Amino acid sequence: MKTEETSSKAAVNTETVEQTSGRRTFLKGGLVAAAGSVAAGFPMISTAASPVVLKLQGAWGGGIFKEYAEDYVRRVNEMSGGSLKIDYLDVGAVVKTAELQTAVHKGVIDGSHLVTAYWYSKNAAASLFGTGPCWGWTANQLLGWIHYGGGKELYDELMRDILQLDIVGFFSGPMPAQPLGWFRKEVNSIDDMKGLKYRTVGLAANVMQEMGMSVVQLPGGEIQPAMDRGLIDAAEFNNPTSDKDFGMQDVAKNYYLASFHQSQESFEIIFNKKKFDSLADEHQKILQYASEAASSDMSWKAQDRYSKDLEVLKKEHGVKVRRTPQSIMDAQLKAWDKVLPKFMEDPYFAKVVASQKEWMKRVGAFELTNAPDYAGAYKHYFGDFA
């Protein structure tokens, strides 16, 4: 027999259940409505079973440069959640390296991972976006100019108006200054370099010729064999890791770090513009932002790998690592001063140079004034570094 108190409790419980059920119904309905609102009013990455697939050929058949390209590809594929997929193709898979830019323009391949020096022959200004004069800047400051100093707009002008290429591109990965390179014999002055057959690319070739060297422009994979056969006396490629992978330590033992011939460079990632414009907005942004994310990761990976491999070259292969004599680097700057006037006759080339110098005069004044004596701090704790 129910008491009045028991009946009262039962009534309260029934009301609570009804209220809870009502709230659940409201929340469920609200979530469904919200989901519909998102679908109707906000862009969402497609989760269709068939992803958009882009074919991107790299200029690298192996080594750490291929890793950098694959790092970018992986970021795009993971960020898209499966809705956009890049298939990475090795060097030479579809076209030769020298034909990559043209192949992307024509839509033979959708994209490429390369450097601007590889199409320097089409327009000398290409070198200014990667292997140009050193205004006292680093590769990271070059990227700063591209993103915030007007460089991207000038690059687009070169592609669209001057070369008339159907290409959109991003810059990624600040490279440390490239070593002067590998020499069969010691070089202690500019006189020791005169007459040597030397491998480099881009405007650096003009600079080294001005310094009295005989310059040969070879693809990376041909450098070590050419030096092994005595076709060249000295060469540079890019960094200790790539150089070790090429086997440069087997054909020369004198390795000089620091140089002004290619002191700031980054990778260029290009896509066919019609293909790029056909992509959903979120996919376009993923291609762009993944290049920025890969850029940061590359700069950190390079610190680790290059320093480790430099130690391997010294300790396991008997390589004599030296800093390039200051007299040679001073001569490089003077050579740049002699090489540039000819190219400055081109109004576009001159416009790019003016933009770069305006950027670096301001940025460099801050950074050089603000930077403490890092070398002094290093020596304080560890002693000499070279």
Q: How many residues does the chain have?
A: 386
Question: Above 70 in pLDDT, residue 83?
Answer: yes
From 378, 379, 368, select the one nearest 136 (Cα to Cα): 368
The beta strands (E) that lie in the chain are given as 52-58, 84-89, 111-114, 167-175, 181-183, 197-199, 214-216, 234-235, 254-257, 265-272, 320-323
Strands 234-235 and 181-183: antiparallel
Question: Above 60 in pLDDT, residue 26?
Answer: no
pLDDT tier, 217 (very low <50, low <70, confident <90, very high otherwise): confident
Structure tokens at 8: 């009262």
Q: Which amino acid is at 73?
A: V
Domains annotated for the chain, with CATH where assigned, are 52-174+265-301 (3.40.190.170)
Distance between CA atoms of residues 212 and 193, nearest Å:
7
DSSP 53-110: EEEEEES-SSHHHHHHHHHHHHHHHHHTTTSEEEEEE-TTSSS-GGGHHHHHHHTSSS
Q: What's the pLDDT tens digit per position in 243-283?
A: 999 999 999 999 999 999 999 999 999 999 999 999 999 99
| Long-range contacts at 342-348 (CB < 8 A, ≥ 24 apart) | 343/124, 343/125, 343/203, 346/124, 346/125, 348/125, 348/157, 348/158, 348/162
Q: Which carries the bigger pLDDT value, residue 62 or residue 25?
A: 62
DSSP H helix total and E strand total for the chain: 14, 11
Average pLDDT of the residues of the chain: 89
Question: Above 60 in pLDDT, residue 206?
Answer: yes
Q: Which carries the bigger pLDDT value, residue 10 or residue 213?
A: 213
Question: Above 60 in pLDDT, residue 218?
Answer: yes
Question: Above 50 in pLDDT, residue 6?
Answer: no
- Scan for tokens 């610190």, then name that residue: 303
Q: Which carries the bigger pLDDT value, residue 116 or residue 21?
A: 116
196: left (phi over 0), alpha (psi -120 to 50) or beta: beta
Distance between CA atoms of residues 272 and 165, nearest Å:
9
Distance between CA atoms of residues 102 and 67, nearest Å:
24
Question: Above 50 in pLDDT, residue 24?
Answer: no
pLDDT tier, 376 (very low <50, low <70, confident <90, very high otherwise): very high
Q: What's the pLDDT tens digit per position in 318-335?
A: 999 999 999 999 999 999
